[in-house]
Amino acid sequence: MGLSFKKIDDRRREIGIPVSRFAKSIGVSRNTYYGWGRDVLPILGKYSKIIEGTLCVDINDISEEDKEKLPKELVRGLSIDLNKRISRVRWAINYIISENNLSNNKLAKILELSVSTIDNYRRGIKMPKFETLTYFQNHYRISIDWIMDGEGEPFFGARAKYPEICGPEAPMPPSFPAPPCNPPEAFVFVRQMTGSISAGGGTVPEDTADMCVAFRKDWMQRKGSPDKMSLIKVSGDSMEPTLLSGDLVLVDHGRNSIASQGGIYAISIDDEIMIKRVQPSFPDKLLIISDNKQYAPYKMSTANVRVNGKVIWYARDLER
């Protein structure tokens, strides 16, 4: 009996695979993934399996009858060769160990894994979890897209200097220059939450992490406590031109009271979370301001506004 959409999605959450990554691994967008619902995912549920924390569906396991019921773009996405993916993992870990003067024991301590697990990765017996691959990308600049799908190259410049290492079956050369990187201990990671936080009428983002973003530890410690921070995308136009829809904001949840000079905060009104400029308005009021002049400011009682944290940083794509 096949798994329901809810069960297979719960399974994805349990092992920490972001929706966007899981959808890409089967060749579709996250919207398509959610749109399939009951029609497609129960079929995948019959054939899904977990290889060391990674949810996989092998195209060779699916019957011809069930293939006919699946969207063509999904069948194409499932045609990725898992053996080649594991081969790329082996190469990446051997590269990291070789170029950073590590041993299995040292890498195991860095990743908080057992030495036998690292050995199994190097031998191609097991597949690392997505969070481990993310660590490889953030700290050693090994592309997740290259490991998972064979897209691009392991790191910038690898194809031009060492074309033999870009093939999924290529053996590791005796030595080659590692890309420059800061030591792992120089960074901290902040979770980017799934969904968006409105700069308009208000939404409630999902309480799950879509990915983690690395920040320099010394910079973060000057700002506050990293374990009290999270990242979330903005939606809506009410904070333009300061914040645009799609901007990524860093919220310090440790700053949950409004400063006397005001500032931009993540606030909750009637359980809906929004980004607004907030100023105290004595004796017990808050002035809620949209930077977009098309939206009029208004006052709310402090009792009716929950302050979730202060926005202390943002990032923006130059191309949408």
Tens of pLDDT, residue by residue over 232-267, are: 888 888 899 999 988 889 999 888 888 888 899 999
Angstrom distance (rounded) from CA 4 to CA 11: 11
Are 72 and 32 contacting, i.e. CB atoms less than 8 angstroms apart? no
**Looking at residue 195, what is its pLDDT?**
57
DSSP tag of 203:
B
Q: Which residue has the higher pLDDT, 123 or 57?
A: 123
- Asked which of 85-94, 142-151, 163-172, 307-316 is least confident by mean pLDDT, the reply is 163-172
For residue 70, CA distances in Å to 118, 198, 289 come to: 36, 35, 49
Rounded Cα–Cα distance for residues 309 and 258 (Å): 9
Query: With 0-12 CB in 10 A as exposed, 13-18 as middle and 19+ as buried, what is 143?
Result: buried
Torsion of CA 221, 224, 230, 234, to 10 degrees: -110
Q: How many residues does the chain have?
A: 320
What single string gives the DSSP state of each residue in 159-179?
HHH-GGGGSTTPPPPS--PPP
User: Where is pLDDT greater, at 33 or 288?
Assistant: 288
CA–CA gap between residue 308 and residue 267 (Å, rounded): 5
Per-residue pLDDT at 145? 78
CATH classification for the domain delimited by 83-166, as one of 1.20.140, 2.40.50, 1.10.260, 1.20.1260? 1.10.260
The secondary element (H helix, E strand) that includes residue 234 is strand 229-235
Enter the tokens of residue 265.
């905060």
| DSSP 8-state code for residue 255 | -
Q: In the chain, what are the domain boundaries? A: 5-80, 83-166, 186-315
Rounded distance, CA 156 to CA 160, Å? Answer: 9
CATH of domain 186-315: 2.10.109.10
